[in-house]
Amino acid sequence: PLPPVTGTPDPGAAPPIPASTHLEDGDYESDKVAFEWGDLRARIVVTGGKITTVQIVSYPDHRSQSLYLIQLADPILTTEVIKSQQFRVNTVSSATNSSIAFQDAIAGAIVKATR
């Protein structure tokens, strides 16, 4: 897995999910998300109802280009999820497919954290 990224949400961040929904504190791992280059799985940590840690736990690394793209996109995407508290973050240029798979994985982890 790639190193986890931790941080604090942006105080002005829009709610990640409808206001009537709450994220349960804990660790949540997405199901495997398949995309063109392989499979990706992500993990979130929810503390105080907010996403505080994001980590890509498995990713395609069988090709040097796949590994390069996920390592390029990871710090940008994970930081943006924590800041915005949303799975829909901007895609990273040159890593569009990886970015979309990442968003899908984070969405799956958020669903698991939702009560």
Give the chain's residues under pLDDT 50. Answer: none
Q: What is the pLDDT of residue 15?
A: 52
Yes or no: say if 57 and 80 are a contact pair by the CB < 8 Å rule: no
Short-list 19, 90, 87, 21, CA closest to 51: 87
Q: What is the pLDDT of residue 64?
A: 86
Global pTM value: 0.81
Short-list 3, 11, 2, 5, CA closest to 85: 11
Q: What is the pLDDT of residue 66?
A: 82
Q: What is the pLDDT of residue 21?
A: 66
Q: Which residues pair with 46 in a beta bridge?
A: 26, 51
